[in-house]
A and B are shown apart, each in its own frame.
Chain A
Amino acid sequence: MGKETLARRSANQVVVGMGDLAVTDRTGDVLVTYALGSCIALCLYDPVRKAAGMIHYMLPLSKASPEKAKTRPAMFGDTGIPLLFKKMFHLGCRKEDLVVKAVGGGNIKDEKGIFNIGKRNITVLRKILWKNEILLAAEDVGGRKSRTVRLFVEDGLTLVSSQGEEVEL
């Protein structure tokens, strides 16, 4: 991997668990989340403030379990995504500086479209971003695969690995 420097390998991993989110402005940190399946990792990077944020949400809408949404808002797209932006703003980031990328939303084979959690996760993301006039800089979504994402605070490098291959997003 050309982008793999010694500094990167020794970066301090901050694991974002399933249904969780994290923000950081420590230059040596790398945010990482595993096994996305149909879940989505939304990655925010602020090159000006040198800060990064990531959410790994599992389900599109909090109405699936309003009680859980109160204690675990990052489990759901509609409650977690706004919270991630809010946390970035608390770090001093400005909306116009944020580079936004989305990864995940895979699906099993489903010809009749009856089992579409991945698609619904993507739809809720697009709706929220559209309403707030935020553009996606890059995305790697859909398909029949699961993914792992790494986001480096140092320069915003975003690496997506799946089925033994790693690519830069």
Chain B
Amino acid sequence: MISQEEILSSVDHLPGLGSSFARISELGRDESSELEDYARVVESDPALAGNLLRLANSAEFGLARQVDSAAQAVAVLGTRRVLSVALATALRGVIPGELAGYGIDARDFWRHCIAVGVLAQELGQEAGLGMEEECFLAGLLHDIGKLVTSTYLAREAPALLKGLRREQLALVEAERAVLGVDHTEVGSAVAERWDLPPGIGFVARWHHHPGSREGEDGGDEILRAVTEAVHVADCLAHALGYGTDIGELSREIDAASMERLGASPPLLERIAGRSIPEIEERTRLLEEGK
């Protein structure tokens, strides 16, 4: 049997997120940074430049004039949005062609990440959290632990499936039965390794159990609300068929989270209704620049 330590220590072997994201995070912290500094980073990264230009020229911004330079794109999108796109681009770059342990390919996994990001953003907006970009990013990155656990689960597929089908375990329980850890614990280790903002690791850790004791003790109220939004968004994305992997619908919705977010079934359907085209559009816009 694989040891828990072995899996957690393998997080160190995960590829890094690349220098563009690190440099843009740094610029965000540096008050003297200027638009040209951002533009320089963007120009040196074709995938990032492509994503920013596509986004700046998309219907969302509805500009009359074509945006065709990195500097213009940064000016149109704003530095927070640029950071968010830089992180998304970096993440897309490290997703392997297939997450064999979960029986899902990179495209569908990516679509799931985007779907949870968009749905969490919409849920956060409805609940008046005022943390829309944070909700999107936390949703986008909620499953980063799977990038590591997938490799180990691939070797244990029959045991995992037995747990899910015969014993009707939730995905995280089945993972723990097989590996000793689940993708949420590994996810918070990945967030640390990538030096992501602390909230991202917290959400990755608690998105399956937003109401658990440790979850309530470990974060402030806003972080807990973001975690709840991502939890409900994750369930909704799976229900809608976005990124249906081996875990499928093997999960439980947290009733208290639904209540605190004020998320009734009609509200969820309204959010889903208006988000579906947005999910498809963002998946298209945030493809790796090829």
Contacts and interface: CB of A to CB of B under 8 A. Distances in A.
B272 interface: yes
Interface in B160-210: 161, 164-165, 168, 170
Given A59-B273, A75-B273, A144 B239 contact: no
A144 B255 CA distance: 18
B258 A109 contact: no
A164 B161 contact: yes
B244 A117 contact: no
Interface string B219-250: 00000000000000001101111111010111
Given A59-B272, A68-B276, A146-B249, A39 B170 contact: no
A116 B265 CA distance: 7
Nearest to A119: B265
Interface in B18-38: none
A118 B270 contact: no
Given A109-B170, A120-B265, A114 B244 contact: no
A112 B264 CA distance: 12
Contacts, number: 116
30 contacts: A35-B108, A35-B243, A37-B239, A37-B244, A37-B248, A38-B239, A38-B240, A39-B241, A58-B276, A61-B269, A64-B270, A65-B273, A68-B273, A68-B274, A68-B276, A75-B276, A108-B252, A110-B252, A111-B252, A111-B255, A114-B264, A117-B240, A117-B265, A117-B272, A118-B239, A146-B244, A146-B248, A146-B249, A163-B248, A164-B161
Contacts of B14: none
Given A114-B258, A118-B239, A64 B168 contact: no
Contact of B241 (A58, A65, A116, A164): A58
B91 interface: no
Given A38-B240, A109-B170, A58 B249 contact: no
A37 B258 contact: no
Contacts of B170: 109
B277 interface: yes
A140 to B, nearest CB: 14
B265 A35 contact: no
B235 A19 contact: no
Interface string B101-135: 00000001000000000000000000000000000
Given A18-B240, A37-B239, A108-B238, A115 B268 contact: yes
B283 to A, nearest CB: 12
Interface in A17-46: 18-19, 34-39
A37 B161 CA distance: 18
Contact of B269 (A37, A108, A117, A144): A117
A64 B170 CA distance: 30
A18 B239 CA distance: 12
Nearest to A106: B249
Contact of A108 (B242, B253, B274): B253
The 6 closest A-B pairs by CB, nearest first: A65-B273, A64-B273, A38-B239, A37-B241, A109-B252, A35-B244
A120 B269 CA distance: 10
Interface string A138-159: 0000001110000000000000
Interface string A81-119: 000000000000000000000000011111110111110
